[in-house]
Each structure stands twice: as C-alpha cells, then as structure tokens.
Amino acid sequence: MAQWTILVLSLYGVLHGQEIQLPTIQKCCQDGMTRAQNGQVCTILPLISSSHICMIAQEQCCAAAVRDQLCDSGMEMAKGQGACERPFFEGDPWETKISKMCCDCCMLGLMMASEGLSCELQGLLLGRWCAYPAKTCCGKNTTEETEPSTIVTEKLEAGVTVTDMPPEGLIPCRDSNCSQLCVGDGLCACFGGYQLQNDGVTCEDVNECLNGGHNCVLGQVCINTEGSFRCQRESSCGTGYELRDDNNCQDINECTLGTHNCGAEFVCTNTEGSFRCHPKERCSGGFLQDAIGSCIDINECVAHTSPCLPGQTCINTVGSYTCHRNIVTCGRGYHLTEDGTRCEDVDECRTGNVCVNHGCVNLVGFYRCECRTGFIFNIITKLCDDINECRDYPGRLCTHKCENTEGSYKCSCTLGFKLSQDGRNCEDVDECEANPCSQECSNVYGSYQCYCRRGYQLSDNDGITCEDIDECALPTGGNVCSYRCSNAPGSFYCTCPPTGYTLSHNGRTCLDIDECAAGRHTCSVSESCFNVQGGFRCLSFSCPPNFRVAAQGSKQDASVNLRCSKACQAYDINCNRDTSHLITYTSISLPTFRDFSKPEEIIFLQTITADNPAPLPGATSIFFDILAADEQFSFDVEKRSHKGMIMGVVRQVKPITGPRDFELKVAMNYVKSGVITHSNAVIIHVFISEFWF
C-alpha cells in the first residue's frame, strides 16, 4: 500500500457516524484516484454523488494518489541518477517539495545501505513521510511500521506539508524542532541544496547561482530552483538548428521532416544547417537543365567561338549542330562582274530615286541618304525615317504632352492647364473664376475641388452640387440623439420625451429630471419620494407583524427604504420557530436595455460570512434564492466571493421592455449541517423605464 493512499482508512470512523455504506465510499475514493492518474486537478473534480462524505473521499483519495506519484517520482530519480541535484523538477512549488523530499530521503536510505548501517534509521527523527522512502530505498521495506494510518496531509498556500509526530521509538530527537532532518541528540541537518540557519533548526534554499556553486558553462545562464538549480542556453540556435534537452544545438534534417521546398523532379539532400535540391535525371550532351529540372537545347551556333571551320556555316539542331560549306555570292550593294569572277559596288544613287526628297551619297557596298532636319538615315531600309523627338527626348521637350509630327513635334496640355507662349510649358487654369460649384470652390493645380458647408455633402452625381445631409437617416442616426432626431437644412435637432427628461447642454443627450431633489413631486409627508428614470414614485413601507423597524432611509434617498428585524413575543412559539430574521426593503430604477447581450448586475448583497472553498463539517454556508418575481426567469442570483466574504449578485438575465413596475423577493438562507438556521429577505421594488437612457 502506498504511503499516502492509506489516508482512505481514516474515513472509516466517519462512515459509522453518518451511516453510509462502505462500498459507496470506496467507489468515491476509486473515482478520485482514477482522476488523479488521468492528470485532473483534485480541487475541481466533477462530483459523482451529492453526499458530503463522498465529496471528501473523492477529493482526498485524489490528492493522496497525486502525492504517491510525486513521491515515487522522487524515489526513482534518487535510484536512477544517484543525486537530487540539477536537473530537478519545475512547476508547482508544493509538488516540487514533495518529490524532492522523497528523493532526498531515498538518497539517505541508499547511503546508509551502502555504508552497512541499519535500515531502522535509529537516532534520526525523519518523520513518517521521510522515513518511508528512506527505509524503502535502504532495502528493508517496513511498510507496516512507517506508513501513516490515519494521518491527513494538507497542502497549504505556502506549499508546506503538515504531518504528525514521529514514532515513539526515536527518543533522541523526540522534542526536536528541526525543519528537515534530526541527526541525534537534538542536532538538525538539511537536505542537499539547503543550508542550516543561525537558529540551528531552520533550513533555507542555497542559491547556487549567486554563490558560484553551479556548473553552468559559457553561453548558459544559471536559474535557481528550490533545493537545486538548472542551466539554460542564452542564445537561440538559429535557422536550420533546434535546441536539444542538453542545451546543445542539433542540425534539423529538413529532408526527413519534409520541410524542404524541392520540386517533384528534384531530390533533397540535407546539409549542415540547410539542404540542397539536386535533379533526379541528368541531361545528355547538347542540353542544359533549367531551374524546374527540364532539359533545354543548347544553340552551339551562337557561342562566342563558332564550332565550324572557316568557310563553313553553323546550323543548330536539337541536341547538336551541323556545318555547311559556304557558296560564294555577292551581297547587297554588290553585283557580279560581267565575267562572273568578282563582285563590284553598285552605285545606288545613279540607279534611281532612292532617297526621296533627301540627298544621296554612294558608299562602297551601300549608300547613305543625307536627311533633312527632323529625319535620320535608316541603315537597314536605306531611307530617311522621321525622328520621334517625343520618344527620344521624353520629358525634355514638353511639360505635359508631346505629339510627334512629320519632321518635328508639338506640345499640348492636360485638362486644367493651357499652353504658355513658349509653346512648351503649361500654365494652371483657375476654374473657380467661373464659379462651377454650388457652394465653395478651391482651385488646385490642374483642377478644382468643390466643398460644402457643414450639414451638406457633395453630390455623387456631378461632384459640384451640395445636398443636405439627413443626419437622422444615417446608419449612426440612432445614436445622434438619445430620444428623437429631426432633420433641418444643413443641420438637425434633438428632442426628449415630453415629461421626466430635459435636453443636456450638448443638445443631444436626454437627462433624467430628479423630481425628488427638485421638489417637483406630489408625495405626501408620510411617503418617500424615489426618483426613477423619466419620473418618480411615492413609496411607503411598514414592517410586517412580529417585526420592528431596525433602520429607515431618509426621504431624500430612498435607495434603502426600510430594514425590519424580527421581534417575537416570548410565548409566540410559531414566531420563534420562523427562520426569518431580517427583512430589507429597497428600490432600483433600470432602463430598457437596448443591447442586451449579457446579464446585467443590478443588486449586490454583501454578507459578513467568510467564504471557505473547503468548509469543515458543521460550518455555516449561505445560499441565495429568488422567492417571488413578476417576471419569471428574468432574474437570478449568483453567489460570489468578495474580499474573502460571501456576496450575492442579483442579475437581470433576460431583456424586459418598460415601462414596468414589479417586486422581486430574494432570500439569503444560512445553512448549517444541511439545516436552514435563519434567513434574511430583501424585497426589491424594480422600476423599468420605457427608454434606454
């Protein structure tokens, strides 16, 4: 049996007191242990029974199983690593403390066994929780002597573990106050990673990172932990590498992981910190492989050095080339002599009018035209081509547009400009001089812009006409005014309901008129005036029979109207048996919520009862309940913890359209041992306004 699982036996005495059958408790305990093995949190387990004892068994058995796992983990580290130093556990300090305690105690047992000492650990006041792993690792498992029987271990906020006193047999350390180990005659000692303080009993964690007791190397930073330390790499590994558990960088094999981007025609080859893509097939001679793995023919004839002999012509073929012998002929500008033995120049200027409207100059093998201004000789066509000045000198001839003409060019301007006297530059035209806009005109470079006064907008049809803006019809028109929006030429105005509201200084928001404060109500002297949104109510409250006035609000502030406490006659048995102790009358004014997307909190009921997440048997608890309401299921009460005390929050959970007046009765029931000892009632008069403001 594990050292903490025996905790279940301590519940046996409770079973007889509450007359619950043992198999039911065993089922609750087994459920808690199973959920602990599945890694669930023991304090928020789903309940399988409404029995209070079953809830205790379920949670405590879960916590015991977690402690067993933590202690077993510590013992395995001691046996496997032979030390409880770095690397150790990280995470919750309470879990780390349990695991490290079992590891240290197991190490103590292993060392005693290696030195041939007795596994009875005589003279050492280790406590039952440390004695069990120490004796187990020493080699003499005396579970019956060391396992706790009915001891409950609690996890406190500070992460410490509370245990009971040691066995009677360890007399030398019986009265010791040692925080960790007692080595006999009242002397205290500490586990590894801790040092004894000046008081001789308290053990404090040693910060190896400050005193130089760590073994972190260059490039690592030391981080102190409870009873140990760990080394963490300072810089990342960089692209193509990953950090291993030993803080070293290891190459990532992108080819194995499939994170490369090689195409289907390539094979991925891993390199240190990267990878390479190699084609699956090699191209044969005469072909070149492109970026996607395709083979492209090489044109050998366009190489810098011709592959053919002088006097031969190179002809490219797919994957190769051929050489053909040249046939002697006369080129353009030459013709064979009459005997056909040689070529002589042709005088093109004498054979015809080759340079139309231009001069002609014969040259050896060709001719050249002497072209006029605005033309250039074309050596290919042997003609005078017009010079496109706009294309050859872009941006240097005309400011805006340049249009080529035969032998010359001309400039023009874009819309909004006119050509200046030099025929090249463009001047801005002030269109606003002609008043093209219906309201305001602003000249801009090359154009103009129409503007409208406030309350108008430019027409989308012509861009010059100003149209009135109907602010009330805009998508946000519902938010322009609190109540009602009326459009006016170039503007708008807001109005409020005829009674109960007044328009604020911003001309949009409707403010509630406090008739009670302004003295504009009609309440009698015996009534209290309560201001509501858009009006007021005259309220009058009195205590019911067997109750007397405990507190009464002022007539100017009726948020808490009346508080009545029970006052029974000594002989009135029914009155004394009634659990009602206090009745409070209060009022609240609410709007008709326009966008009701989540519950609205309207009343906060603060108590002076402490909120205990895990109450002890017999402790007092509070339950809130709605006893009466005019709107079914429109309200609920949520129990919360506020500054360590229980608080009830009354919430509106469904939209209600006003105007509506109704009464809501909320009960605060004080329960002890499953019985309502007394209850307080809060009667809330709810006034729902017709409007959202």
pLDDT digits (tens, 9 = 90+) for 114-158: 888 888 777 677 777 788 888 888 874 443 333 333 323 333 222
Q: How many residues does the chain have?
A: 693
Q: Give the mean pLDDT of 591-600.
A: 85
| H or E, element range at 98 | helix 93-114
Name, in order, each residue with C-beta under 8 angstroms of 467's C-beta and a sequence gap of 6 or more: 452, 456, 457, 458, 459
Domains of the chain, with CATH numbers? Answer: 5-210 (no CATH), 334-387 (2.10.25.10), 391-428 (2.10.25.10), 431-468 (2.10.25.10), 516-688 (2.60.40.60)
Q: Residue 582: which of 612, 550, 613 has the closest Cα?
A: 550
Q: Residue 102: which of 129, 123, 141 has the closest Cα?
A: 129
586 neighbors 562 (Cβ within 8 angstroms): no
Query: CA-CA distance, 78 to 67, in Å (whole number)?
Result: 17
Q: Give the mean pLDDT of 423-434.
A: 90
350 neighbors 338 (Cβ within 8 angstroms): no
Residue 595 reports pLDDT greater than 90: no
Tokens 């050292």 correspond to what residue? 3
pLDDT at 360: 86
Q: What's phi and psi for 224, nearest 5 deg?
A: -75, 140
Q: Give the mean pLDDT of 481-492.
A: 89
Name, in order, each residue with C-beta under 8 angstroms of 663's C-beta and a sequence gap of 6 or more: 628, 629, 630, 683, 684, 685, 686
pLDDT at 564: 93
Which pLDDT band, with edges at 50, 70 and 90, does 509 fall under? very high
pLDDT at 186: 63
Residue 417 reports pLDDT greater than 80: yes
Q: 392 in helix, strand or coil?
A: helix
Share of the chain above pLDDT 90, in %: 17
Beta-sheet strands, E only, within 513-656: 528-532, 535-539, 547-552, 560-566, 580-590, 600-610, 620-629, 635-642, 645-652
518 neighbors 531 (Cβ within 8 angstroms): no
507-509-511 Cα angle (round to 5): 115
Which pLDDT band, with edges at 50, 70 and 90, does 24 fall under? confident
Pull the structure tokens for residue 360. 């002609």
pLDDT at 511: 94
Please tell me what DSSP assigns to residue 290. -
Q: Give the mean pLDDT of 572-591.
A: 89
Q: What is the CA radius of gyration of the chain?
A: 50
Residue 18 reports pLDDT greater than 60: no
pLDDT, tens only, 308-320: 876 577 888 888 8
CB atoms within 10 A of CB 640: 12
Q: 386 in helix, strand or coil?
A: strand
Q: Tell me which range, 96-110, 136-150, 290-304, is most confidently predicted by mean pLDDT.
A: 96-110
pLDDT at 536: 93
Complete DSSP assignment for 142-186? -HHHHS-SSPPP-B-TTS-B---PPPTT-GGGTT---SSEE-STT
Against a cut of 0.75, is the pTM above it? Answer: no
Which pLDDT band, with edges at 50, 70 and 90, does 257 fall under? confident
Query: CA-CA distance, 286 to 100, in Å (whole number)?
Result: 73
Query: CA-CA distance, 559 to 531, in Å (whole number)?
Result: 9
Name, in order, each residue with C-beta under 8 angstroms of 283's C-beta and a sequence gap of 6 or more: 289, 295
Pull the structure tokens for residue 432. 């606003």
pLDDT at 185: 60
Pick the more confident residue, 221 or 594.
221
pLDDT, tens only, 330-381: 888 888 777 666 788 888 888 767 787 788 888 888 888 888 888 988 888 7
Distance from first CA to last CA of the chain, Å, rounded? 68
142 neighbors 113 (Cβ within 8 angstroms): no
Residue 11 reports pLDDT greater than 80: no
pLDDT at 161: 30
Which pLDDT band, with edges at 50, 70 and 90, does 164 fall under? very low
Are β-strands 359-363 and 366-370 bridged in parallel, bridged antiparallel, or unpaired?
antiparallel
Tell the burial category of 414 from Cβ atoms under 10 Å away from its Cβ (0-12, 13-18, 19+): exposed
Residue 81 reports pLDDT greater than 70: yes
Pull the structure tokens for residue 389. 């000045």
pLDDT at 229: 80
Which pLDDT band, with edges at 50, 70 and 90, does 89 fall under? low
Q: Tell me which range, 210-219, 279-288, 499-508, is most confidently predicted by mean pLDDT.
A: 499-508
CB atoms within 10 A of CB 519: 8
Name, in order, each residue with C-beta under 8 angstroms of 41's C-beta and a sequence gap of 6 or more: none
pLDDT at 237: 78
What are 325-332's contacts with CB under 8 Å, separation 24+?
331/365, 332/365, 332/366
Q: Report the chain's mean pLDDT, rounded to a whole number.
A: 80
pLDDT, tens only, 533-580: 999 999 888 899 999 988 876 655 445 578 999 999 888 888 988 888
What region, left, alpha or beta, does residue 74 occupy, with left being phi > 0 and alpha being psi -120 to 50 degrees?
alpha
44 neighbors 72 (Cβ within 8 angstroms): no
pLDDT at 146: 38
Q: 689 in helix, strand or coil?
A: coil
Query: CA-CA distance, 93 to 101, in Å (whole number)?
Result: 12
Rounded to 10 deg, the angle between the 22-37 and 52-81 helix axes is 40
pLDDT at 158: 28
Residue 82 reports pLDDT greater than 50: yes
Pick the more confident residue, 464 or 381.
464
Name, in order, each residue with C-beta under 8 angstroms of 430's C-beta and a sequence gap of 6 or more: 443, 448
